[in-house]
Structure 1
Amino acid sequence: MKKILFCLMALMGVMTASAQQKVEKNDAQVAINNIMTRTSIRQYTNEPVSKSDIETMLRAGMAAPTAVNRQPWHFVAVTDKAKLAELAGARGMIKQAGVAIVVCGNMEKALPGKAQAYWVQDCSAATENILLAANALGLGAVWTGCYPMDDRVAEVSKALKLPENIVPMCVIAIGHPAERPQAKDKWKPENVSYNEFGKTAE
């Protein structure tokens, strides 16, 4: 009897491990699908973006990797329609958006010297996290650049009354999508080398 019970317990352990592995595989596939289906959305409905969704996206942004964990970012979430119109300029999609998240670098938190430039990489990683979170929430979003274009940096800084140490890197327009473009397949094996430049996989 003890032997049978032991075998049953062992079998249950295998089944539990197998089920756990299946759940983890499913979670991985969901994450990969979210990356592969993300695409730029420039047309939005009039439905507002909820405060909880905005916070979820901001939390995702702050979960990004950052050099020496300096977290040299500051985010400005803009929902006011007049302010969105002021930010838009030639970028009409920002005017339509339910929210614009302006991803900025805080130069007081950036690394010293030449390493200061890492703030752009850190804020870029945060931006991609926000875009992926928006897609996961069923929202549409598009990354519009500011830095290093001086005129755009000046326009956004003026509209948001940013202090000198806060540099806007980009404006992410976000809303409920009014269009469903197909995500582009950007996989190109010729853009990949293995071990040395120009070497293909063996």
Structure 2
Amino acid sequence: MNRYKIVSLVLAFALLASLVVVVKQSHSTPESDPAAAVLGNIHARRSVRAYTDRQVAPETIDTLLRAAMAAPTARDRRPWRFVVVDDRRLLDSLGAQLPYAAMLLGAPAAVVVCGQLTAGVDPAEEMWMQDCAAATENLLLAAQAVGLGAVWTGVYPYADRVALVSRLLRLPPDVVPLNVIPIGYPGERTEPKQKFDRKNIHHNGW
């Protein structure tokens, strides 16, 4: 085999190897790029207010709650408490009486994120709100990741909403509902909003 043929074979193998790399990159999945998967899920998350009749399996709800409880928490006190609601009459009662929560009337399930004041840092500091808010965002992102739709409906700090949810769910006096999260398989197609705005960013001071 002369030198020309050897060089040609080397170039051919090099070209083939390059093509294999390109094909692999073009068929790469989010699982092969963790950063892209995480960021893609964050930016794809949107509020979903309409749901199909398909029920959400208990193990799927458990997945959401595990994600919620992976959130950061002040002094590792973990004051979050979660009430899973899948009773149709209770969902309808909440949806009919809680302001801006009518989507509960069509949701197969909901998670009420609460803070137990006696379990957290000094109640006067109200760090439980930050802990529970972080847990809520984790829950919403997990819902997006597993193909569910969800929306944050606020309860605290509105005294009337807190009283209503506390009464319907029979919450102890030291447990405060922060929000109600209706959950279900999306019954509507909504696009995520582009919210990034450089005007909201400041460096080394205002």
Q: Which residue of 2 aligns with 1:62?
A: 69
Q: How does 1:50-199 map to 2 (within 5 A)?
A: 50-88=57-95, 89=97, 90=99, 91-112=101-122, 114-115=124-125, 117-197=126-206
Offset at 1:23?
A: 8.3
Query: How many residues are aligned here?
Result: 176
Structure 1 portions without partners, runs of 5+: 1-21, 198-202
- CA deviation digits over 1:36-60, x for unaligned, max 9? 0000000000100111110000101
After TM superposition, what 4+ stretches of structure 1 lie above 3 angstroms from structure 2? 22-25
Q: CA deviation at 1:24?
A: 8.1
TM-score, scaled to structure 1? 0.84
**1:88-138 per-position Cα deviation (integer Å, ceiling 9, x unaligned):** 1242111211211000000110212532x1100000000000000000000
Q: What amino acid maps onto 2:148 in structure 1?
A: L
Alpha-carbon RMSD: 1.7
Alpha carbons of structure 1 residues 113 and 52: separation in structure 2 relative to 1, 3 Å: closer
Q: Is 1:41 the counterpart of 2:51 in the alignment?
A: no
Partner Cα separation in structure 1 for residue 150 and residue 88 of structure 2: 17
**Cα distance in 2 between the residues matched to 1:47 and 1:72:** 32
- Classify 1:25/1:191 alpha carbon distance in 2 versus 1 (closer, same or farther; 3 Å): farther
SS at 1:108 equivalent: helix
SS of residue matched to 2:41: helix
Gaps of 5+ in 2: 1-28
Q: Is the 8 A contact 2:30 2:36 kept in 1?
A: no
TM-score by length of 2: 0.82
Pair member with larger Rg:
2
**Counterpart of 1:186 in 2: which secondary structure?**
coil
Whether the 8 Å contact between 2:79 and 2:128 is mirrored in structure 1 is yes
CA distance in 1: counterparts of 2:141 and 2:196, whole angstroms: 18
2:64 and 2:106 map into 1 onto residues whose CA distance is 19
Specify the alignment match of 1:3 in structure 2.
Answer: none
TM-aligned CA distance change 1:69 to 1:43, over 3 Å: same
Give the letter for the 1:45 counterpart.
T
